[in-house]
Amino acid sequence: MKYLLISLIVLIFDLNVNAQAVMKYNKLTPEEERVIIDKGTEMPFTGKYLNFDGKGTYVCKKCGSHLYHSADKFESHCGWPSFDDEIPKAVKRIPDADGIRTEIMCANCGAHLGHVFKGEKYTEKNIRHCVNSISLDFVPVDKNTIVKTGRAIFAGGCFWGMEHFFRKANGVISTDVGYIGGDKDNPTYDEVCSDNTNHAEAIEVIFDNSLTSFEEIAKLFFEIHDPTQVNRQGPDIGTQYRSEIFYLNEEQREIAEKLIKALEKKGYNIATKVTKATAFWKAENYHQDYYSKNGEKPYCHSYIKRF
């Protein structure tokens, strides 16, 4: 018993030491702490990265987590660096106490970054992450060790079932279900289900390009739903349940059209549309990983090999 107690004490000590090592952050200057820890704001038009156009990745000053790709940076003339997209799962949003603005923080360590704004129409994504330069560091592309990721957006019936299959696929890093292709910003589930907003229930898939490809992901899309059905999937009926690929670049469009032609040659009457992607609006939290959370299985999706 004595030796068991000693072993437990040693184990707890080791775990505590390891936890402290994991939580070790970069040392901050007093001015960095004022912004990053105390949620201050640097003076406009003074930040290091305001007029900076290097190619690479912006990372958290406090913990080094990757936050933004340089390709998503744009000039808004607001006085601070602006981005219209973040690296998936990297940024956390918290409503300010005044109920007007939304704070953005590093999802890993909670460092204050700035605020996010919608509806200003600076870019097609209609989003502006207004970030303090002092909250960031920059990793040039030639030193960038981040995994090269791909992104794809598909609609094919109830997004619960789509996510059930995609989140298990080889090379998939993360999935989010949401809405796309409609006429209203930030729609709710009830609004989409009214069949009046023209949105489709959809899934955004982030994948590791070293392990899979858009073509492989797209093939899976055609094999986990019935691409011959129009505005429905199984018992779910309505335009929100349509089959559609929302391409992000010309390469994705060409691949999608190639796969459709291949299926048509096999005798399938494909109803799937191929459309340029617009803003993807993430669905309410209770829809994310729905079947995994509830221990259920899809009622209108199943895998059928077609390629």
Residues annotated as part of the active site = 130, 158
* 3 state SS for 244-277: EEEECCHHHHHHHHHHHHHHHHCCCCCCCEEEEC
Q: Report the C-alpha gap between 170 and 166 in whole angstroms.
A: 9
Instruction: Provide the CB-side half-sphere exposure for 203 (13 A, CA).
Output: 30
Residues 6+ apart with CB under 8 A from 6: none
